[in-house]
Each structure stands twice: as structure tokens, then as C-alpha cells.
């Protein structure tokens, strides 16, 4: 079921409700065949932007192009998009086959062609043989597959998804994330996906557009967004992090009395935040090169299955009152090396793993 994907050009899209800006001059290029995720906290404007792409919301200003075609004034049913919603939006009085075939029926496609494309779509989402089931006889995961089959049955060039997995339990959601990504690859379809779940965004996307308060905060690949957040909001929102206030003085980064080795040019004096990912801290022997060492006391030690989370406190005489988190992967030797609560230990942070954002 291959289609020719279209790129999407979003220019200066602005949407106001009264005096409130739900979207502020959003500029974004979604590449042809790309899986792009709109990620942001609740109320940030993700759904408003997706609905503007779908045609259900009219922006006050700006342009949306699918390929070379301006669509901003086009009604939803003429935009040629597939759409999947959080609540499935299936028709309860229709069986699976009728639900999936509905967009084709609206398009006046012949009965035999509908049967063929519905079977193909159901097979793509691994629901072969369930065409005659009633919607109420399906599990949550199966309902979402039906919604997906209905969205792709007419081979759209663009697929829009609004939190499609949020009603599923964690395990199924994680399985479906991988499956949806594979499906995207096999269909070769431009996909815009909305979620507030940063892990889901990191797992599935080619690129992530982080939205906050109606503005685009950062656009990048999952690794860029995770490793090089361009401000403290993103550092805090994506992944786990401890944000430690530091100073840059005379081109030297300092945490209390400690001169930090940082992986940055620090040309401008001022206050910054050192972003520390818990998994980047390690139990140090003190001999590692190009490494910052901190003396810390262990406040808490929490077993979390695949890893142990330590809450540690920097030595207050040297660094002021600061707690941070450290994550140690749960390998076979973890038990022997795990420090006890109350113990003072030295932890290392490699220069290459330091990252500063403006305060
Ligand atoms: P969530 O993850 O909770 O769905 P979101 O990022 O998708 O959030 P939107 O639904 O796009 O957020 O809403 C963005 C802002 O616009 C919110 O503050 C919301 O209250 C506001 N908003 C959305 N629709 C309307 C409307 N019809 N009238 C007034 N305000 C609205």
C-alpha cells in the first residue's frame, strides 16, 4: 500500500481565541515521508495545530501547503488526509468492515473495490478475518487498529494522528509505538503525530517539534532534542534531568568553588543551568580523564527494575544545597557496587556529557 508522500509547509500559522494565542506564528516544514511529532504539555497548542492541518480549525493567519497546494481554506474532506483520533471515533452501529470502508463509500468507490481495499487495509493493521466483528466486540488495541485501517484505506498522502495510543495500557502502547512506526515506514506516508508523552515522541519520530504556549520551541531529531535541548524548558520536559545553577565568569564555568570542565564555548559571563541526565553520572574511581568529580551523599536508593535510581546531594560546603538524580543500569555487578543510603561517594560526569542552557 505505497503512496507518494507530500511535504507540508506551515508558515506563520496563528490562532487566537479572544485575546489568547493558541498558536503564535508557527513555521514548520514537514518533509515528504517524514514522521514528525508535535510534542508539548497539555494546552500547548498541539491539537490546535493538527486540527489546522486537518482543516477542522481555521487559523487567523498564515499558510499551510501540502506539496505546492495551498490548503488553508480547503474543507477537511477535500484535503486528502487520513486522520486517527485519541477516542477512535468509530461508528458503533457499523461492523469493522463497514467502518474501514466508510471513507471509500463516501468517495463513491465501487463495492468490489471497497472490499479489496478494506481487506488490504485490515491486513496491513493485522486484523485479517475480523471484518464482520461488531465494534463493541473489540479490545482497545483492536479498535485503534480499525481506526488506523480506516485512515489509510484510501491511501492518503498525509496521515494525522492525535494521541492515538493514549487510551491503551502501557505495554500495549509501547508495542503499538513500534508497530505504528513500522507501518509508517512500509506505507511511506508523511505523518504528523501529536503526543504529550516525550518517551513516545523519542521512540517514534524522525523529528520532534516541541511546542509550548503556542510557540515552536525546538525542532530536531530525537537525539538532538535529548542531547542538545536549547533551553531549560526542553531540558526539563524531555527525559529526566537535574538542572543545576552554575556561573560563568572569565570564560570559566563554576559550580560553587569547583571549576567545571564543560563541552561548550563559554564566552559570555552570566548565570546558566548545567543539565545533568541521571544516566550520565557514574560511580567514579577518581581516575577518569576529562571528567568532573562531585562528592555526594546518597539520600535515597530506589530499585526500578532495569535500573537503580539514586537521589544524591552535593556536598553543601563546596556546592551549596543541591540534590540530583543518578541512574545506574541494573547489571549483574550492580549489587556489589551499589552505595548505601547515607554513604558519601564520588560521582563522575564526563566533560562530553555536560550541557549548559541559559537560566
Ligand atoms: P492537550 O494535550 O491537553 O490536548 P494541546 O497541546 O493539544 O493540549 P490545544 O487543545 O491545542 O492544546 O489547546 C491549546 C490552547 O487553546 C488551550 O489553552 C486551550 O484551552 C485553548 N483552546 C483550544 N480550543 C479552544 C476553543 N475552542 N476556545 C477557546 N480556547 C480554546
Would the pLDDT of 3 be above 60?
A: no
Q: Across the chain, what does the average pLDDT equal? A: 90
Would the pLDDT of 336 be above 70?
A: no
Protein residue with least CA distance to atom 14, ligand 1: 45
What pLDDT, on a 0 to 100 scale, did the predictor assign at position 2? 52
pLDDT band at 55 (very low <50, low <70, confident <90, very high): very high
DSSP one-letter string for 289-303: SSEEEEEEEEEEEEE
Average pLDDT over residues 111-117: 87
pLDDT single digits (tens) 140-159: 888 988 999 999 998 899 99
What pLDDT, on a 0 to 100 scale, did the predictor assign at position 334? 64
Which ligand 1 atom sits closest to the C-alpha of 48? 11
Average pLDDT over residues 276-302: 92
Q: Mutation test of ligand 1: which of 18, 20, 22 has the most ligand atoms closer than 8 Å to its C-beta?
A: 22
Protein residue with least CA distance to atom 20, ligand 1: 43
Which ligand 1 atom sits closest to the C-alpha of 18? 29
Residues 6+ apart with CB under 8 A from 130: 96, 122, 138, 142
Q: Which of 284, 214, 259, 207 is nearest to 26 (CA)?
A: 214
What pLDDT, on a 0 to 100 scale, did the predictor assign at position 8? 98
Protein residue with least CA distance to atom 9, ligand 1: 45
Ligand 1 centroid to Cα of residue 56, in Å, is: 13
Ligand 1 centroid to Cα of residue 177, in Å, is: 24
What pLDDT, on a 0 to 100 scale, did the predictor assign at position 15? 97
Protein residue with least CA distance to atom 26, ligand 1: 17
Average pLDDT over residues 329-344: 81
Q: Radius of gyration (Cα) for the chain, nearest Å?
A: 25
Average pLDDT over residues 177-204: 93
Phi first, then psi: what are they for 278, rounded to 5°? -55, -35
Phi first, then psi: what are they for 131, rounded to 5°? -55, -30
Ligand 1 centroid to Cα of residue 214, in Å, is: 9
DSSP code at position 163:
S
Which ligand 1 atom sits closest to the C-alpha of 211? 6
Which ligand 1 atom sits closest to the C-alpha of 214? 14
Ligand 1 centroid to Cα of residue 226, in Å, is: 26
Q: Which residues line ligand 1 (CB under 6 A)?
A: 17, 22, 40, 42-48, 196
Which has more pLDDT, 317 or 302? Answer: 302
Q: Per DSSP, what are the bridge partners of residue 298?
A: 312
Which range has the top average pLDDT, 93-97, 169-173, 255-259?
Answer: 93-97
Protein residue with least CA distance to atom 11, ligand 1: 45
pLDDT single digits (tens) 251-274: 889 888 888 998 877 778 899 999
Ligand 1 centroid to Cα of residue 80, in Å, is: 25
Task: Tell me the domains of the chain and their CATH numbers.
Answer: 8-232 (3.40.50.300), 240-358 (2.40.50.140)
Average pLDDT over residues 82-90: 85
What pLDDT, on a 0 to 100 scale, did the predictor assign at position 302? 94
Which ligand 1 atom sits closest to the C-alpha of 194? 7
Average pLDDT over residues 77-86: 90
Average pLDDT over residues 339-344: 93
What pLDDT, on a 0 to 100 scale, did the predictor assign at position 318? 66
Would the pLDDT of 320 be above 70?
A: no
Ligand 1 centroid to Cα of residue 44, in Å, is: 7
CA separation for the pair 42, 200 (Å, rounded)? 15
Would the pLDDT of 333 be above 70?
A: no
Which range has the top average pLDDT, 5-19, 129-143, 240-254?
Answer: 5-19
Average pLDDT over residues 91-104: 90
pLDDT single digits (tens) 206-245: 999 999 999 999 999 999 999 889 899 999 999 889 999 9
Which range has the top average pLDDT, 53-57, 82-86, 179-183?
Answer: 53-57
250 and 257 in contact (C-beta within 8 Å)?
A: no
Amino acid at each position: 500500500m505505497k503512496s507518494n508522500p507530500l511535504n507540508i509547509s506551515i508558515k506563520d500559522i496563528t490562532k487566537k481565541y479572544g485575546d489568547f494565542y493558541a498558536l503564535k506564528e508557527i513555521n514548520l516544514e514537514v518533509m515528504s515521508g517524514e514522521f514528525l511529532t508535535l510534542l508539548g504539555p497539555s494546552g500547548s497548542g498541539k491539537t490546535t495545530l493538527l486540527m489546522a492541518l486537518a482543516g477542522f480549525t481555521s487559523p487567523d493567519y498564515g499558510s499551510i501547503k501540502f506539496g505546492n497546494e495551498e490548503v488553508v481554506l480547503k474543507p477537511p474532506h477535500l484535503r486528502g488526509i487520513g486522520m486517527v483520533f485519541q477516542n477512535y471515533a468509530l461508528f458503533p452501529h457499523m461492523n469493522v468492515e463497514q467502518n474501514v470502508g466508510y471513507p471509500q463509500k463516501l468517495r463513491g468507490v465501487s463495492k468490489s473495490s471497497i472490499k479489496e481495499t478494506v481487506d488490504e487495509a485490515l491486513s496491513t493493521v493485522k486484523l485479517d478475518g475480523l471484518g464482520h466483528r461488531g465494534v463493541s466486540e473489540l479490545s482497545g488495541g483492536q479498535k485503534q487498529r480499525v481506526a488506523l485501517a480506516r485512515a489509510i484505506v484510501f491511501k492518503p498522502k498525509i496521515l494525522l494522528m492525535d494521541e492515538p495510543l493514549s487510551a491503551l495500557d502501557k505495554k500495549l502502547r509501547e508495542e503499538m509505538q513500534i508497530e505504528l512506526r513500522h507501518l509508517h515506514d512500509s506505507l511511506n506516508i508523511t505523518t504528523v503525530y501529536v503526543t504529550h508523552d516525550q518517551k513516545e515522541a523519542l521512540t517514534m519520530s524522525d523529528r520532534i517539534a516541541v511546542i509550548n504556549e503556542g510557540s515552536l520551541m525546538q525542532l530536531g531529531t530525537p537525539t538532538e532534542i535529548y542531547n542538545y535541548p536549547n533551553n531549560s524548558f526542553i531540558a526539563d520536559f524531555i527525559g529526566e534531568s537535574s538542572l543545576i545553577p552554575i556561573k560563568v565568569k572569565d570564560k570559566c564555568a563554576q559550580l560553587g568553588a569547583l571549576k567545571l570542565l564543560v563541552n561548550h564555548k563559554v564566552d559570555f559571563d552570566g548565570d546558566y543551568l548545567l543539565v545533568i541526565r541521571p544516566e550520565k553520572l557514574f560511580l567514579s574511581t577518581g581516575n577518569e580523564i576529562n571528567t568532573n568529580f562531585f562528592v555526594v551523599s546518597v539520600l535515597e536508593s530506589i530499585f526500578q527494575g532495569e535500573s537503580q535510581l539514586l537521589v544524591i546531594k552535593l556536598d553543601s560546603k563546596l556546592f551549596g544545597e543541591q540534590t540530583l538524580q543518578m541512574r545506574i543500569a541494573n547489571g549483574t555487578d550492580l549489587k556489589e557496587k551499589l552505595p548505601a543510603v547515607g554513604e558519601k561517594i564520588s560521582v563522575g560526569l564526563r566533560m562530553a556529557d555536560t550541557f549548559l542552557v541559559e537560566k
